[in-house]
Structure formats: structure tokens, C-alpha cells
Chains A and B, each alone.
Chain A
Amino acid sequence: MRGLSGRQKVAWVVITVVVLVYALFPVASIAATSLKPASELNSGLFLPQNPTLGNYEQILVGNAQELFLSALRNSIGISLIATAIAVVLATLAAYAIARLDFPGKRLILTTALGVSIFPVISIVIPLFNLWRSIGLYDTWAGLIIPYLSLTLPISIWTLSAFFRQIPWELEQAAQVDGATSWQAFRKAIVPLAAPGVFTTALIAFFIAWNDFVYGISLTSTETARPVPAALAFFTGASQFEEPTGSISAAAVVVTVPVVVLVVLFQRQIVAGLTQGAVKG
């Protein structure tokens, strides 16, 4: 904080605290709820008086284990596959868009834009009908395919922005130095492109991970139901009791990886979402 007056320092500290409270308070709130024993759920207090890990036990090793862990497995698997497919397809497309001149380039970008603003609910209803008749209902593939409508457009946009800033002349230079074109591509371009691809994958993963509408509409059992949909399936000690504790604990468990990724890669994510360039 060199070069700042004392007043400015104080101002920055205050601003930082305000932003932290704003951004983290709801997370803290549900984390606090997740530590409350059943008797304190209605206490009207923010913090648990006798914090317990009971709710976590319930979902990780207890009654709700099967429900939650299978959902977790589905969410991770489906999101990863949808992300991978999107990134591979988008890498090819973005390469073409950034490097080649061909008619239809704008059409592809416009389509990506159009798909990304598409109301999900408009797609889900016909898909539901179609999936039922061709047997994709309640399968991983049945979610991966519609997830592409979420992950692919943003991947194309982000990657083409990244790729546009790669100094492709390096490839030429490497070729002049006697490398084959594949070597040139691998040695000169891949290292430059990799961070962009990685960032894109992160962003795409967040979006797939967040899905709810497809998850509740196109699944019906533990074979494919992702976490956001599964939260509605938790149950209290009996049919009529509220599963507030289990839901909160599950919510925290699925938020942890998000926070870890954000902490590790905040620079890349911000860059990916703003510039398409990995710069300060």
C-alpha cells in the first residue's frame, strides 16, 4: 500500500470489508445453518449455539448418503463431460474463427450468441418429450447433450477472443526453424493456447454445474439426477419434516469446490470473462 495516504488506505480497507461482506454473507449464512442441530433451526439466530456436524454426517455417511453421493457423482461426471465436449468443439471452431477467413464466420458467432440467450425452458419441454421416446430420459447422455447448449456458446466466444490474441507468427517462425507443422503447433501454439482453453473450461464447468431446469426435468432417479435437483429430494426424519439441515450441508459441500476454484484461478476467470487475455 505504498504511495497511498492514510485516508486512502482506510478507505480501501473499508471498501474491501464491504465487498467481502456483500459477497460472502449468504454463503456464511447457509454454512451457519448447516452447523445447527435440529433443535436450533428455528432459533432465529444467525450462529449455531451448539454447532454440530450431524447434518454433514447425514448426507455423507447417513441416511441421505446414497441420494447425495450419487447426485454428486452425476453432477461431476455430467458437467465434466459436457465441458470437455464443448471445449474440444469450441477449440476447433475458435481456431477457425480466429485464424481463417471464411464465409459464415459471423453466422457462427451470431448463432452462438443466439443459443446463449435461448430460454432454457423452451428447449426443455420438447427435449423431455423427445428423450422419452428415444430412451435418453434419465440418462447421463440425456443431460450432457442439452448442457452443450449452455457450455458451447460461451466456450466459442471466450476461446475465439483468446485465440485472436495469440501471436500465430510464432508457428511460422518455428516452421522456418525446421519443425514440422505439427511440432510447430505443439511447441509454439499449444503452450500459448492452453491457459485460454483451461479458463474456458472452468467457466463452462461452472455453468453446467449450476444447471437446475434440465436436471429436474430430464431425470427421475439416482442414475442421472444432479445435485441442484437432488436438493429437493432430501427429507427430514419423516415425510413431513423439513430437511433444512441436510439441504444446507449439501449446499455447503457443493459450494466448496466452487470457492476453491475461484480462489485458485480468480485471475484467469476474470480475464476469461472480460478480455479473453490472461493479463493482470
Chain B
Amino acid sequence: MSATVPAAPGGSTARAGAARTADSAVTGRPPRGRPRASDRARAEARLGWYLAGPAFVVMLAVTAYPILQAVYESLFRFRLTAPDERSFAGFGNYAVILTDGVFWRALWVTLLITVVTVVIELVLGFALALVMHKAITSLRGILRTAILVPYGIITVVSAFAWFYAFDITSGFVNQWFDWVPGISSDLNWFAQQGTSLFVIIASEVWKTTPFISLLLLAGLAQVPGELDEAAAVDGATWWQRLRRVTIPNMKAAIMVAVLFRALDAFRIFDNVFIMTNGANGTEVLSLLAYRQSISRLEIGLGSALSVLLFLCVIGISVAAVKFFKVDLAGARGER
């Protein structure tokens, strides 16, 4: 699953705000909040909903409806191959899941993958963003093209590429790196938890770092150039300027990037499915839910897992917004 999250460039407030002010000035539209021409406001509101309504309804229909359905289904014990034995289970399915070590292990593995990939990607993505930001014009195109390739590639394809490279029978990695202690032609990467997770994380990082680096690039573009120059004149080193000027000025962008990537990583499924299918303690939550409902056709248990996964995502978002003060709307210039 690649990032499906739209870019939310940090602090584009200034530009977007300016554009809007200009806009209002020209069209003579009243700034928000001033009570005037209420008929017109009502007409505008109606037009707004006519235009935006269909998109809104579709979004709700394709998500809210299924999740409500899942909540309902999760209250039953129901197996698709035994449709007559459907019975009401109350919160029984949730009890089964929450008291099962399998669930907690999958949650732990998912969180581990999320945290590790996000940390690596933040550093790597920042480096790539700096490269794209500072690149001289003649190289900019080729750099951006290269960085966009992993972004555009199908996750499943990337998973196969990494899998074949590391696989003990078809791979070349063991031969190439047999000088590294611990790596030899006998190393079966997909036979232990640690090495399996290493390859899974590597492929995830490769595929999704471009996305985070683009978000950070947007943030970099918002850092006022004068500040950096002034600091340079004052004799600050490159590192000092990065730490004292650049990073603080793009904090919002970083936060948003981290949150989006974390939520995206939390849904990881494709690479795990292709590489290990959950063997050796690499089971993640999405795979667990998939196995219960799609493979075992235990709709009740699967639905309960879906609901729990959904609640986790909500939980992470709320925590991020509350505790880390990630201002999604503000980062977008939406106020």
C-alpha cells in the first residue's frame, strides 16, 4: 500500500492566504464572518454543497458505510462456509482477539515496522529533500525523476524485486555481501524474524521514502531564504543553520509528514504478504485481519479485527494531533 495521503506542505499559509486575500479583494466577496448579504451567502453555501456534495457523499459511502457494516458483523459469530450457524456473539469476537497473544504480537510487529521505517525515512527523506532542494538546475530533473521511480512503482513489484534479490535460491545478495560478518551463502533471510523484518523494512523504506521527501521538500521551500543567509553571514556552520534555522522553520511539515507516513506504514500489507505471508513472527495487523476474513472466511472475527485496526488508526491520529500538536489544517494553509 503506497502512500495514498495527499501532500500537506507545511506552512503554505502565507502564499495561500495571500492568494485568497487578493481573490476576495477583486471579487468583492465579503471576508468570512461579516454578516452581510445573507441571501447571497445562502446561495453560495448551496452552490458549494451542490459542487462538493457528490464527492463528500461518495467518500462517506465508500468508507463510513463499510465500517458501520463491519461494526455490525463483528457482533456475530459467522463463518461463510456455514451460513446457517450464524449466531449473535455480542462482544465475544473482541474478547477472543484482545485476549489472544497473536493479536498483541501482530500489533507489536506492526508498531515496530512503523516506528523503524518512519525514523529511517525521516532521515533519508530529509537528505533526499535537501538534495532536490539544492540541486543545480542541470541535475534537478534527473534527480527528481530517479526519486519518483520508487514512488510510482507498484508495491507488489517492489516486494518481488526485493524478495528475489534476497531469496536464498534465486538471490544474489548473499554472494555480494558475504564479506559482511553474518552474511554467507547459507543465510536464509526469510527464515528468522530479524532478517525477514530487515528485508521487509528495507523494501518499505525504499518504496515510500520519496513520498516523505516530497513532503519535506515542500516544507523546505517555505523556509525563508533570508534567515539562512543571515545566519551564514553570521558565520554559522551548515550544520548549525540546519539545526537552528531550517528544521525549526519546517516543524509543521515534518510533523505532518511523520503522521501521514506512520499511518500509512501502520497499514502495511503488500510486502509482508509477498515475502513471508506472516511466517517467522512477521504477521502484521492487516494480514491478520485478511487471514481471518478472506482466507478463513470467519467474517465475524475478521470484522472485529477491522474495527480494532480502524480504532488504532484513529487513536494514533488523535494522539498525534493532541500531544504533538500536529496542525493538519494549519499546515495546509486552511484556516
Q: Do A and B touch, yes or no (CB under 8 Å, in the complex)?
A: yes
Are B32 and A93 in touch, CB under 8 angstroms?
A: no
Q: Which residues of B contact A177 (CB under 8 A)?
A: none
Known: A92-B52, A96-B52, A122-B309. A262 touches B152 (CB 8 A): yes
Are A129 and B1 in touch, CB under 8 angstroms?
A: no
| A interface secondary structure, majority | helix
Q: How far is the CA of A238 from the CA of B2 in the complex (A)?
A: 33
CB distance from A71 to the nearest CB of B (A): 12
CB distance from B65 to the nearest CB of A (A): 8
- In the complex, per-residue mask of A209-241: 1 if CB is within 8 Å of any chain B CB, else 0: 110110011000000000110010000000000
Are B214 and A26 in touch, CB under 8 angstroms?
A: no
CB distance from B242 to the nearest CB of A (A): 16
Are B62 and A212 in touch, CB under 8 angstroms?
A: no
- Name which of A55-63, A179-187, A265-273 contacts chain B: A265-273
- Whether B227 sits at the interface, judged by CB under 8 Å, is no
| B interface secondary structure, majority | helix
- Whether A127 sits at the interface, judged by CB under 8 Å, is yes
Shortest Cβ distance from B25 into A: residue: A169
The size bracket of the interface on A is 35 or more
Q: Which residues of A contact B15 (CB under 8 A)?
A: 165
Are A150 and B4 in touch, CB under 8 angstroms?
A: yes
Q: How far is the CA of A141 from the CA of B143 in the complex (A)?
A: 38
- In the complex, per-residue mask of A10-51: 1 if CB is within 8 Å of any chain B CB, else 0: 001001100110111011011001000000011011100000
Interface residues of A in 88-110 (CB under 8 A from B): 89-90, 92-93, 95-97, 99-110
Are B299 and A129 in touch, CB under 8 angstroms?
A: yes
Q: Which residues of B contact A24 (CB under 8 A)?
A: 146, 149
Shortest Cβ distance from A264 into B: residue: B145
Selected A-B contacts with CB under 8 Å, 13 pairs: A33-B161, A42-B169, A92-B55, A120-B267, A121-B267, A154-B5, A157-B7, A158-B6, A169-B26, A210-B155, A212-B273, A251-B160, A275-B221
Given contacts A122-B310, A124-B290, A212-B154, 17 further A-B contacts (CB under 8 A): A4-B136, A23-B149, A33-B170, A96-B52, A104-B48, A109-B329, A121-B309, A125-B70, A125-B306, A165-B15, A168-B26, A210-B1, A212-B273, A213-B269, A217-B294, A228-B270, A274-B221
Task: For the complex of A and B, list the 6 residue pairs with the smallest distance between their C-beta atoms, beginning with the closest.
Answer: A102-B48, A157-B6, A274-B218, A96-B51, A30-B161, A122-B306
